[in-house]
Amino acid sequence: MDPRDIHTPVMLERCLELLAPALEREGATYVDGTLGMGGHAEAVLARFPGARLVGLDRDTDALRIAGERLASYGDRVRLVHTVYDGILEALGGTRADGILYDLGVSSLQLDEAERGFAYAQDAPLDMRMDQTSGITAADVVGTYGEGDLRRIFERYGEEKLAGRYARAIIDERSRGAITRSGHLVDVLQKATPAALRNAGHPAKRVFQALRIEVNGELTALERAIPAALESLSVGGRLVVLSYQSLEDRFIKRLFAEATRSTAPAGLPFELPEHQPKFRLLVKGTELASEEEAARNPRAKPVRLRAIERIRESA
Ligand SMILES: C[S@@+](CC[C@H](N)C(=O)[O-])C[C@H]1O[C@@H](n2cnc3c(N)ncnc32)[C@H](O)[C@@H]1O
């Protein structure tokens, strides 16, 4: 299996263009916070011969596949098995010059039916990106109370029928454990009012919510972005690709905080120490071109944001 045939890196040229001023510097350090199958990472290593890669992923399969793919780059490559908020530890005191977070699940994870990410295929309800630790989706579905299930479906899935689906799961559980994705899809389908059955797949948002809960995705992201910003050298750049409005709103807020002046309200002038340490490289978000979205369906929902460090912290 060649990873190049499974996954086409999203907005690749734009990412390289945004990272170029930082990664063209000799000895630059590039952190790929979501290495996946190493598509973006390989392109960075090829385009910027003076750059070294620190590649992070919590999925050991991804690290193995990317490791084989990038083997010819020798000691320019260092891969670390970690949740991406471990970026500072992974860097061990080195500053990062370019960082990319390409959020969400990989094509590899979606395509491997047995991992339970896809509602279209019946499989054990697992959904852990790191299969070496943590609770599974079956644990969440089997042990969380009704209120907690409703809360995660509402918050992480923005699901309007959250209460109804939580109730249906509790009812079904009393008849026997829900351990497979097909069983859960069935429960959700039956709980969906007939009038709404054609309004998108009823399991889509619930599966998204379970995945976010199982992997603690938003908690990790909330810690990862400030850590990534802290690690950047002056002139260093961070690019984030998100695929859900929930994640994108998060990035928007964290970038807005980082680029804001810290001058107290009412001060008639801004002291140098109050000036922002970062500037936005992209106004709002950028989307993939129509041509890319048509060619690569994964690119359709993407939103890109990018930021640069313009001065040192005090
Ligand atoms: C969309 S894929 C990245 C694809 C990659 N850019 C490429 O071109 O091959 C996202 C990857 O991030 C990893 N990931 C997601 N959340 C993570 C987290 N909190 N910590 C570490 N890795 C994470 C997933 O395991 C997955 O391999």
| Protein residue whose Cα sits closest to atom 27 of ligand 1 | 36
Whole-number pLDDT of residue 111: 82
Pairing status of strand 96-102 against strand 29-32: parallel
Report CA(63)–ligand 1 centroid distance (Å). Answer: 10
Domain ranges of the chain: 3-102+217-309, 113-215
Question: Is residue 8 classed as helix, strand or coil in its secondary structure?
Answer: coil
In CATH, what number does 113-215 get? 1.10.150.170
Least confident of 10-24, 137-151, 268-282: 268-282
Cα–Cα distance measured from residue 132 to residue 28, given in angstroms and rounded to the nearest whole number: 32
Reported pTM: 0.93
Residue 289 has pLDDT above 70, yes or no: yes
21-41 tens-digit pLDDT: 999 999 999 999 999 999 999
Q: How far is the CA of 255 from the centre of ligand 1 (A)?
A: 21
Residues 121, 125, 128, CA angle at the centre, nearest 5°? Answer: 110
Q: What is the pLDDT of residue 183?
A: 96
pLDDT band of 173, cuts 50, 70, 90: very high
DSSP assignment of 126-144 equals ---SSTTSS--HHHHHHHS
Run of H or E including 257: helix 245-258
Q: Is 228 helix (H, G, I), strand (E, B) or coil?
A: helix
Distance from Cα 101 to the centre of ligand 1, integer Å: 8
Of 261 and 76, more confident: 76
Is residue 242's pLDDT more than 80? yes
**pLDDT tens digits for range 174-220:** 999 999 999 999 999 999 998 887 777 889 999 999 999 999 999 99
8 Å CB contact between 252 and 283? no
Nearest partner of 24 among 228, 232, 235, judged by Cα: 235
Q: Of 1.10.3210.10, 3.30.479.30, 3.40.50.150, 2.40.10.10, which CATH number belongs to 3-102+217-309?
A: 3.40.50.150
Long-range contacts formed by 284-287: CB under 8 A, 24+ apart: 285/248, 285/252, 286/11, 286/14
Residues lining ligand 1, judged by CB closer than 6 Å? 7, 9, 34, 36-40, 56-59, 62, 83-84, 102, 104, 106, 129, 220
pLDDT band at 270 (very low <50, low <70, confident <90, very high): confident
pLDDT above 70: residue 314: no
Reply yes or no on whether the pLDDT at 313 is more than 90: no
Q: Where are the beta strands (DSSP E) in the chain?
A: 29-32, 52-57, 77-81, 96-102, 232-242, 278-280, 303-309
Bind-site residues for S-adenosyl-L-methionine: 38-40, 57, 84, 102, 109
How many angstroms is it from 313 CA to the middle of ligand 1?
Answer: 29
Please tell me which residue, 20 or 132, carries the higher pLDDT value: 20
**Average pLDDT score over the chain:** 94
Q: Residue 6 pLDDT more than 70?
A: yes
pLDDT band at 53 (very low <50, low <70, confident <90, very high): very high
pLDDT for residue 161 is more than 90: yes
Provide the pLDDT for residue 239.
Answer: 98
CB count within 10 Å of CB 40 equals 27
Residue (of 284, 218, 227) closest to 246 by Cα position: 218
5, 58, 213, 221: residue to mutate for ligand 1 pocket, most atoms within 8 A of CB: 58
User: If you average pLDDT over residues 49-71, what whole number do you get?
Assistant: 96
pLDDT at 109: 87
Segment 286-298 shows an average pLDDT of: 95
Query: What is the helix, strand, coil percentage profile of the chain, to 5?
Result: 50, 15, 35
% residues pLDDT > 90 (the chain)? 81
pLDDT band at 118 (very low <50, low <70, confident <90, very high): confident
| Tens digits of residue pLDDT in 136-156 | 999 999 999 999 999 999 999
